[in-house]
Amino acid sequence: MKSVVLLGYMGAGKTTIGHALAKEIGVRFYDLDWYIEMRFHKTVAQIFEERGEDAFREMERNMLHEVAEFENVVISCGGGTPCFFDNMDYMNSLCETIYLKASPDVLAAHLRMGRVVRPLIAGKTEEELAAYIREMLRQREPFYSKAKYIFDVDLLNSREKVAESVRLLREATGI
């Protein structure tokens, strides 16, 4: 089996679906941001603050190359990962890539109910959050749409909905 990479905007459910998919097909799951944090003993936010985005993106690229070489894994990459360097082409060359596509409303709902504090959206009003998400999707969609599969994601607010999404994703991709 080729490894699977889930990509999409923050809040699309990459980690949630990635965990469930990996468990169902019996392989290991790696969240690229968590992998970076484990390897460098710092949060992504700390790396951004201390070294800047350019340094972080270089580290992210290197760690992507490391993790993508693993066999039989499911990987969730950061929302920006496909948009830098040749990352999207690289992922497509080695892995089954799946863009978890969600509407701005679904993304906003996921981000509001998420347990992770996300500095890029902290303190934004509902209207500001929606506008921010729409703009970021406009910029990133050309990269995301290069994925081998595009899978529309609905609101993932229960285990049943996550399980159904995994079932439909497997059906659509043959994974």
Q: Average pLDDT of each block of 10 consecutive residues along the chain (175 residues)?
A: 94 95 97 96 91 94 96 96 98 97 91 70 83 95 98 91 95 94
Phi/psi at 123 (5° precision)? 80, 0
Quote the CA–CA distance of 27 and 24 in Å, as a whole number.
Answer: 8
Supply the DSSP symbol for 81.
Answer: G
Residue 97: beta bridge partners?
5
Domains of the chain, CATH where assigned:
4-164 (3.40.50.300)
CB of 68 closer than 8 Å to CB of 90? yes
Smallest CA-to-CA distance from 101 within 112, 92, 110 is with 110
As given in the structure block, the two tokens for residue 53 are 């985005």
Q: What is the pLDDT of residue 151?
A: 96
| CA 49 to each of CA 59, 116, 119, 120: distance values in angstroms, whole numbers, following the listed order | 14, 18, 11, 12
Q: What number of other Cβ atoms are within 10 A of residue 3's Cβ? A: 21
